[in-house]
Amino acid sequence: MLLAPMACTNRGDGDSGDGGDGGGGTSSTGGAGGEKNDGGTGGQSVQAPGACGPVAPAPLRRLSRLEYAGSIRALFPKTFPPDADGVWRLDNHAMNFQRAGQASARRVNLFQEPAEDVLSHGFANRAKNMNPTSLHIDRFNDVAALVAEHVWRTRKQGAGDAFLPCDTQDLACGTRFVEQFGERAFRRPLTAEEKTDFVGLFEQELKANTFDVAVVLTLEAFLQAPQFLYRAEIGDSGTLDKGAVKLTAFELASRLSYLLWSSSPDEELMAAAKSGDLLDTKTLETQARRMLSDKRFVFMAVEFFRQWGDFDRIFSETYRRRPGFPSLAAGHSVPSAYRTAARDEMQWFVEWLMTDGDASIETLLTSRKSRGNGYLATLYGPGVPLDEKLDAALDKTVKDIALDAQQRSGYLTRALFNWTYSRFDTPSPPLRGAFVIEKLLCSTFPPPPADALSVAPPPPAGPTNRELFEANVKARSDCPVCHKSLDGIGFGFENYNEVGGYRTLDKGRPVNANGELFDTDVDGKFNGAVELSAKLASSETVRHCMMKHLYEYATGRDAEGTVEDEGIDSCRLKALDQLLLEKKGDLREALVGFVTSPDFVWRPAP
């Protein structure tokens, strides 16, 4: 059974009740019942090849924040170098640089400088949401100027990237600069008209001002041009087949590099595009496998999980202060080092999973690999609740951490997940259950009614957290419908307190972490999140759901239809899911399968 609907599902067209809200829950995931994307096809029916029928939509994609940063890093690899181990990470120190000539001495972060992307299901790369707004245009202008000035200054100081191909300060050098830098920025050779336009700009500024001014302004123009900010695909008109065209080799190279690296093609991939070899499926697969084993793959892989799990939500103000830290004075937040440690553990974990690990959902949910500093060790040790005064003595070095097999397994048993999906001062079974339902089972449920009351902070003595939630749900006749599934899962996490520390007692009484899964392919009772994780790891629904997330991330659009209603993507998802099954759940192999499928090389004709 795939994508089994929960008993309490929301297809999105209900019209009863007064709404309420999601209770700060996870961003919803699903896709059923939505309005159709037409994906830039203009509504025309296109055929194209493949066992799954008409070619899939391929709406125009603008660079996301991540892809923007990745593209700039590729253009200026010495100015924005990777970490010491060669991996691109978002917290790389070179991503921060000083803004020139402003009254405020604000430092700039290459990733954060462009305007925020609009999220869909928590993901920040949906083409339909990548619309231009005045802030986006303003910020793209800002960041283009900042980067151009920064790389020019760095070059003047004798460091950084030699983006100029010559030393003579004349139009001939400017012309070569336009040709060579333009090809790297646009991920293809410039057309004759583009070359004329950009050389024209360079020449205009050279005549009116100086060579350096012409260089900086031309850089700025390249970095704001549609050919750079958008991944436009025109296709090869010679391959037109009933409204579909094959991508050109350069377009294919861009699809591949932005999928696997969140960045532009490197020299080897560009060479394969120039020669046309990339149009051959075997070469395409060879390149894909090379890129999957390259350290730049980490940039994409971590981001996929970071968006899926909303890793940074732990820093949300609402979730900062916790009574798990009894020594904190009123109004003080939990030291950010604990949150950072919890977040960093998961970033490391998914990085390990997708590179040195087997890249499977099973491992994601059941591995006890852990690595972190003394803050993380404290969260996982017997020392919770924490003591702020002891922080200074904590070991700041990062080491492997041995997790207790009875207490911890994979993602759902770690500090980040359990801390993030807690309320202000209590674990939240519904929030934790909602994450599993939405993000692992790809099912949904309606919002709570408007007048649903949250659970008041528990008194020092009295009912346990579970008892409080149970009483609230029982108090209304309409609550148990959804909470049966939500809390059936969520109560399984009761061994984790509001900062993800392990507990066996709640209000002095043994924790009851018994739960039950309903309306899934792995229904049944379980005790604690370790058992729950094992059940979910064996679920076909979970495997298919994660495949769907990855497919949507790869295509930049929400999948249409479900297995039940046979939307345009269901056949493709079935095929990829079968491949994932054959490849022992290795998501990297699913990516290779996607890359070598007809969908990856065809698109609707413009």
Partner 1 sequence: MTMQSTLARRQLLNAMGLTASSLFLPSLAGRRFARAATTPKRLLVFYTPHGPVNQRWQMRPAGPHTWSDTKEKPDRSQELSFSLKSQTEDKWSQILKPLYPLRDKLLVVEGLSMASALLDVNTNNHNAGTSHALTGAKMVYPGGFKMEGAGGGSSIDQLVADKIADPNRIRSFYFSTGGWSPVFRGKIEQRAETAPDRAYDKLFPVSATGDATLDLVKQRRPSAIAAVAQQYKKFAARLASDDRKKLEDHFALVSDLERSLAFRSAEGGKCVQRPSSAPAPAPGRTVVDVSKDFGGLITAAFACDMTRVAVLQMGQPGSGELVTALNIHTDLHADVAHGASPDRPKQYGQMAGYYAYLASNFATVLGQLNAVTVDAGRTLLDDTVCLWLCELANGPHEVHDIMAVVAGGGDAFSLGRYVKHAESTANPRSANGAKIGPAHNKLLTSVANVFGVETQLVGSPASDFVSKRPSAANFDLTGVLPLMKT
Segment interacting with partner 1, rule: CB under 8 A, options 65-73, 227-235, 406-414, 570-578: 227-235
- Please count the other Cβ atoms lying within 10 Å of the Cβ belonging to residue 69: 26
Separation of alpha carbons 381 and 404, rounded Å: 9
Pick 33 or 77: Cβ nearer partner 1: 33
Segment interacting with partner 1, rule: CB under 8 A, options 197-205, 367-375, 498-506, 510-518: 197-205
For partner 1, the binding residue among 1, 7, 14, 275 (CB under 8 A) is 14
Pick 32 or 595: Cβ nearer partner 1: 32
Instruction: Give start and end residues of each alpha helix (H) in 261-335.
Output: 267-275, 281-292, 297-308
Q: Residue 238, interface with partner 1 (CB under 8 A)?
A: no
For partner 1, the binding residue among 38, 478, 564, 582 (CB under 8 A) is 38
Segment interacting with partner 1, rule: CB under 8 A, options 26-34, 273-281, 336-344, 585-593: 26-34
C-alpha dihedral (7, 10, 15, 18), degrees to nearest 10? 90
- Please count the other Cβ atoms lying within 10 Å of the Cβ belonging to residue 216: 19
Q: Residue 331, interface with partner 1 (CB under 8 A)?
A: yes
Q: Residue 145, interface with partner 1 (CB under 8 A)?
A: yes
Q: Scanning residues 244 to 303, which ones bind partner 1 (CB under 8 A)?
A: none
For partner 1, the binding residue among 18, 267, 356, 400 (CB under 8 A) is 18
For partner 1, the binding residue among 16, 157, 397, 477 (CB under 8 A) is 16
Q: For residues 359 and 384, is the Cβ–Cβ distance under 8 A? A: no
Q: Residue 135, interface with partner 1 (CB under 8 A)?
A: yes
Q: Residue 321, interface with partner 1 (CB under 8 A)?
A: yes
Sheet of strand 244-246, all strands in order from the earlier edge strand to the far edge? 236-241, 244-246, 602-604
Q: Residue 24, interface with partner 1 (CB under 8 A)?
A: yes
What are the tokens at 78? 């010495």
Separation of alpha carbons 505 and 502, rounded Å: 9
Please report which helix (H) or strand (E) contains residue 241, including its range.
strand 236-241
Instruction: State the nearest-atom distance from the C-beta of 159 to partner 1, in Å.
Output: 17
Separation of alpha carbons 440 and 562, rounded Å: 15
Pick 110 or 221: Cβ nearer partner 1: 221
Estimate the crossing angle of helix 171-186 against helix 65-75, to 10 degrees.
Answer: 140
Q: Residue 35, interface with partner 1 (CB under 8 A)?
A: yes
Q: For residues 603 and 45, is the Cβ–Cβ distance under 8 A? A: no
Q: One symbol per residue from 46 to 75: x for binding partner 1 (CB under 8 A), - otherwise; what is it? A: -------------xx-x-------------
Q: Residue 392, interface with partner 1 (CB under 8 A)?
A: no
Residues whose CB falls within 8 Å of the CB of residue 378, separated by 6 or more in sequence, listed in order: 338, 384, 386, 390, 394
Tallying the residues shown for the chain, one arrives at 606
Q: Residue 476, interface with partner 1 (CB under 8 A)?
A: no
Q: What letter does residue 496 receive in the DSSP assignment? A: B
Instruction: State the nearest-atom distance from the C-beta of 203 to partner 1, in Å.
Output: 12
Half-sphere exposure of residue 83: CA atoms within 13 angstroms, side-chain side: 11
483-501: burial string, b at 16+ Cβ within 10 Å, e else: bbbbbbbbbbbbbbbbbbb
Q: Scanning residues 73 to 112, which ones bind partner 1 (CB under 8 A)?
A: 100-104, 106
Q: Scanning residues 531 to 560, which ones bind partner 1 (CB under 8 A)?
A: 558, 560
For partner 1, the binding residue among 118, 166, 402, 471 (CB under 8 A) is 118
Sign of CA dihedral 207, 210, 213, 218: positive
Instruction: State the nearest-atom distance from the C-beta of 579 to partner 1, in Å.
Output: 25
Report the DSSP pairing between strands 107-109 and 96-98: antiparallel
Instruction: State the nearest-atom distance from the C-beta of 395 to partner 1, in Å.
Output: 27
Pick 299 or 304: Cβ nearer partner 1: 304
For partner 1, the binding residue among 53, 86, 91, 137 (CB under 8 A) is 137
Pick 220 or 303: Cβ nearer partner 1: 220
Pick 27 or 596: Cβ nearer partner 1: 27
What are the tokens at 564? 């039940």
Report the DSSP pairing between strands 505-506 and 509-510: antiparallel
Instruction: State the nearest-atom distance from the C-beta of 589 to partner 1, in Å.
Output: 28
Instruction: State the nearest-atom distance from the C-beta of 468 to partner 1, in Å.
Output: 13
Half-sphere exposure of residue 100: CA atoms within 13 angstroms, side-chain side: 13
Residue type, 116: E
For partner 1, the binding residue among 370, 444, 539, 597 (CB under 8 A) is 444
Q: Residue 10, interface with partner 1 (CB under 8 A)?
A: yes
Q: Residue 234, interface with partner 1 (CB under 8 A)?
A: yes
DSSP lists the bridge partners of residue 123 as 120
Q: Residue 339, interface with partner 1 (CB under 8 A)?
A: no
Residue type, 568: I
Q: Scanning residues 576 to 605, which ones bind partner 1 (CB under 8 A)?
A: 604-605
Instruction: State the nearest-atom distance from the C-beta of 584 to partner 1, in Å.
Output: 31
Segment interacting with partner 1, rule: CB under 8 A, options 9-17, 371-379, 396-404, 485-493: 9-17
Instruction: State the nearest-atom distance from the C-beta of 73 to partner 1, in Å.
Output: 22
Q: For residues 568 and 53, is the Cβ–Cβ distance under 8 A? A: yes
Separation of alpha carbons 317 and 501, rounded Å: 20
